[in-house]
């Protein structure tokens, strides 16, 4: 089982607009689209080799991000981002390393709030 954490953003935007904004924001941050579905997107970034040899730079560490969008009300949406890392990742506190990226993403999406919902 990989190391991971899950973050939830509360966003008030039309669904289609949000879907496109998420995709563009993560691509702008250097992620590659791996899988694209109706309510789910999967991205990856980093280098497997850099991760396996023990480098700890956030931009070098290989990770997959699964994005799920869930409707709560008409214009209120929940965006769940699940970050998955290899057990070989040498970053001790992954959520702390990701904080800058999460704050940038929160701003790009116009999120009303952000909450870590799962961490292991």
Q: What is the pTM of this model?
A: 0.92
Question: Among 79, 81, 101, which Cα is nearest to 91's?
Answer: 101
pLDDT of residue 71: 86
DSSP the chain: --EEEEEEEEEES-HHHHHHHHHHHHHHTT-EEEEE-SSEEEEEESBHHHHHTT---TTTB-EEEEEEEEESSSSEEEEEEEEEE-TT---S-HHHHHHHHHHHHHHHHT-SEEEEEEE-
pLDDT of residue 118: 84
pLDDT of residue 16: 85
Walking along the chain (120 residues) 10 residues at a time, the average pLDDT comes out as 90 90 96 92 96 91 96 87 93 92 96 88
Question: Among 73, 49, 75, which Cα is nearest to 60's?
Answer: 49
CATH label, 3-119, candidates 3.30.310.80, 3.40.50.1820, 3.30.428.10, 3.50.50.60 = 3.30.310.80
- Tokens of residue 14, six digits: 């039309």
pLDDT of residue 1: 58
- Residue spans of the domains in the chain: they are 3-119
Those residues with Cβ within 8 angstroms of residue 85's Cβ, 6 or more apart along the chain or in another chain: 2, 3, 4, 51, 61, 62, 63, 91, 94
pLDDT of residue 38: 82
pLDDT of residue 68: 96
pLDDT of residue 39: 79
């Amino acid at each position: 089982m990989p190391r991971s954490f899950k973050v939830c953003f509360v966003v008030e935007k039309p669904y289609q607009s949000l879907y496109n904004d998420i995709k563009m924001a993560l691509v702008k941050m250097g992620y590659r689209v791996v899988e694209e579905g109706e309510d789910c997107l999967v991205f990856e970034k980093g280098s497997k080799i850099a991760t396996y040899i023990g480098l700890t730079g956030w931009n070098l560490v290989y990770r997959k991000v699964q994005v799920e969008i869930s409707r709560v009300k008409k214009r209120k949406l929940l965006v769940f981002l699940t970050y998955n890392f290899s057990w070989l990742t040498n970053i001790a506190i992954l959520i702390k390393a990701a904080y800058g990226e999460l704050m940038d993403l929160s701003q790009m999406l116009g999120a009303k709030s952000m909450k870590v919902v799962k961490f292991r």
